[in-house]
Amino acid sequence: MKYLVLILSFMKLFSFLSCNNTNQSNETLTDTITAVAGNFSDYPEYNKTDLGFVYQKEQTVLKLWSPAAEAVRLKIYKTSLGDDLIETFNCIKDGKGVWKIELNGDYKNKYYTFQAQFDGKWNSENADPYAKAVGTNGKRGMIIDLAETNPDGWESDQSPEFKQPTDAIIYELHVRDLSTHTSSGIQNKGKFLAFTEEGTKNPAGLSTGVDHIAELGVTHVHLLPSFDYRSVDESKPGNNQFNWGYDPQNYNVPEGSYATDAEDGKVRIREFKQMVQALHKKGLRVVMDVVYNHTGMTHDSNFDQLVPGYYYRQWKDDKYSDASACGNELASERAMVRKFIIESVKYWSKEYHVDGFRFDLMAIHDIETMNQLAAELKKQDPSILIYGEGWTAGDSPLPVEKRALKEHVYQLKDVAVFSDDIRDGIKGNVFEEKSTGFVNGSKDMAETIRIGIVASGEHPQVNYAKGYYAKKAYAKNPESVINYVSCHDNNTLYDKLKISRPKASEADLIKMDKLANTIVLTSQGIPFLHAGVEFKRTKNGEHNSYNLPDSINQINWNWKTENIDLFSYYSDLIKLRKSHPAFRMSANEQIQQHLEFIDVKDKQIVAYLLKDNANNDSWKQILVLFNGSEKTKKVKLPAGNWIPELMNYEFIKDRKTVASKFIKLLPISATILYQE
């Protein structure tokens, strides 16, 4: 319980800091709600999919859903920020809470805002929530012909082949981090177009950028928020501003600071598509980190200015709830909010060919919304990945039993959750910097490691009562669990190891690093890697770098030169996983049948057998041994002739059968043997 309280406190603090919010008080918001909102359950649901604009050369039709508005007007501008109003139009009611305006003639490339009136007062002008293009800083929508944003060959763009979720190896990356360092050899620094550059090298001639990612061997590139967010001023492109982007402004538009021109709304769209196209050509799928749980502004957001109160949850006293610790939370269970979220992800999947979505603080969303969303996405693309954080940063009016929590993943279909069990079991609590896990000194984490190895599902040899967080199995299949040891949040893996073990030698820190992700990449479930972990990425000990400069966040490609052996180890480890289906089982029943733990009577050793392997695996039996202690240990081998694949982090090329009945495990090491 003490860990739970501590974690919730730290999560709330972290989430508040990283949201970078400037919200008005709940009291001010409450006045707005009670004055104009009425009973949300009385609001009509609009079932069509034509909100926003529908452009044709002869006529553009714009629609806004705002059932409580007394009047709505549309303003047309020449530019995205200038005082250059062209025309103002009064919208007309069109039923189901929708306001409509038909613009005769060609309005392509004009900017627009909606403005709604309540209680005789006009709220501020805003881009509508369904805007598909915006100008600088997302203040105004832009009417465009989407077909003009398609790069050459876009119609023939194909996602790389992908058979089942457990085949995925996810690589989490911020758009700017890839390219901003001088060693990247990339011209379009900090831009979507950086992902289109091939043949880039660091000063030592080693591959960087997308060539490096492809060389590493992962399958999916997970991009931190790349929709339009508010904390970076796009009108000052030379300032090299940085933010993770967890403060959404316009959900259906790419971020302008990552484009070569933020003013022209078509440019950011085209360049995002070029990025996706380039990654697909490299054999890499694209996952978007999406933040539908809250917005970067509350009262001043386009949601609240155009439909006061409706899109956000409130407590019984009408105060806005704050499970995101960012000032608000979206009410996903309300019909038009659910509709918006589902239509938004479908739009990114169809228009931008995005292959997956990671949901920030997913437990703020209700289970029904997530299931409907997954079902709709799977209709468009059966191979799409959907996963998220199965927790909140604070309490919510949404009943606990309806939340998309980690422990409710068995109620979710085709939606996976992150395993904080294996994360903290491997290296220690992320909120206690000096705490340790299995690889860096703890003697109490072996059972939590076993929980991670079986992807948090039922297994007769796993004692969940001894787990770090989960006290019972919660995953119905390994496809439901994302295994990881580090991500953009908290310390990088290398920094965490160094802080928790300040007296450890560099050689031992590297062993801990290797052991950590050897566990992740050989466990059942879906492995997830933080970009740069393959060459000891550091943020100089900063655990919350959401708005710190590039100098802290960027990938220094000289690290690859300095740690080329570590990179090669990660690459070989990924090849190992991809070569053997035994590491990628798709059902709990398979794991129960084929994965057997070996009791070695040692709290710092985890040993298991992948036995009687089928599914075209060339290895009939696989023996995996992890030694988390700083002492050499000896383990008796199961019967049969065993051939070493990995010994003390060396992949064996001259493979010979082990002569002894015992295997020696060096300190902080991983060993893998097999029978053909």
Based on the number of CB atoms within 10 Å of its own CB, is 292 exposed (0-12), middle (13-18) or buried (19 or more)?
A: buried
Long-range contact list for 568-573, CB < 8 A, 24+ apart?
Answer: 569/514, 569/649, 569/651, 570/216, 570/517, 570/529, 570/533, 570/534, 571/215, 571/216, 571/217, 571/534, 572/651, 573/517, 573/518, 573/521, 573/522
Task: Please identify which residue in the block is written with the tokens 């298991």.
Answer: 608
Question: Helix/strand/coil (H, E, C) string of 503-547?
Answer: CCCHHHHHHHHHHHHHHHHHCCCEEEEECCHHHCCCCCCCCCCCC
For residue 246, give the nearest of 551, 547, 491, 529 by alpha carbon: 547
378 and 412 Cβ atoms separated by less than 8 Å: no
Q: In Å, how far are 142, 159, 209, 214, 476 from 282, measured between CA atoms?
A: 32, 10, 11, 6, 33
For residue 102, give the nearest of 48, 58, 147 by alpha carbon: 58
pLDDT at 15: 43
Q: Where are the domains of the chain?
A: 40-143, 593-675
Q: Which CATH homologous superfamily contains domain 593-675?
A: Golgi alpha-mannosidase II (2.60.40.1180)
185 and 161 Cβ atoms separated by less than 8 Å: no
pLDDT at 34: 37
Which residues are identified as catalytic? 360, 389
Q: In Å, how far are 188, 509, 515 from 671, measured between CA atoms?
A: 42, 18, 10
* Measured distance CA(482)–CA(422) in Å, rounded: 10
pLDDT at 19: 63
Two tokens, residue 511 = 């062993």
Two tokens, residue 385 = 């990945």
Buried b (16+ CB within 10 A) or exposed e, 28-45: ebbebbeebbeebeebee
* Measured distance CA(52)–CA(143) in Å, rounded: 10
Fill in the amino acid letter for 541: G
pLDDT at 25: 35
The torsion angles phi and psi of 364, rounded to 5 degrees, stand at: -70, -25
pLDDT at 239: 81
What confidence tens digit (pLDDT) does each residue in 543-560 have? 999 999 999 999 999 999
- Return the SS3 of 646: strand
The bridge status of strand 643-647 relative to strand 669-675 is antiparallel
Half-sphere exposure of 600 (CA within 13 A, CB side): 27
DSSP state, residue 163: -
* Measured distance CA(318)–CA(308) in Å, rounded: 12
The fraction of the chain above a pLDDT of 90, given in percent, is 90
Half-sphere exposure of 646 (CA within 13 A, CB side): 22
Class of domain 40-143: mainly beta
What is the helix (H) or strand (E) element at residue 270, kind and residue range? helix 265-281
Query: 40-143 with 593-675: one CATH topology?
Result: yes
What confidence tens digit (pLDDT) does each residue in 278-298 have? 999 999 999 999 999 999 999
Two tokens, residue 447 = 């059972």
Q: In Å, how far are 153, 275, 281 from 181, measured between CA atoms?
A: 31, 19, 24
Mark the ranges of the chain whose per-residue pLDDT is less than 50. 1-17, 21-37
- Return the SS3 of 631: coil
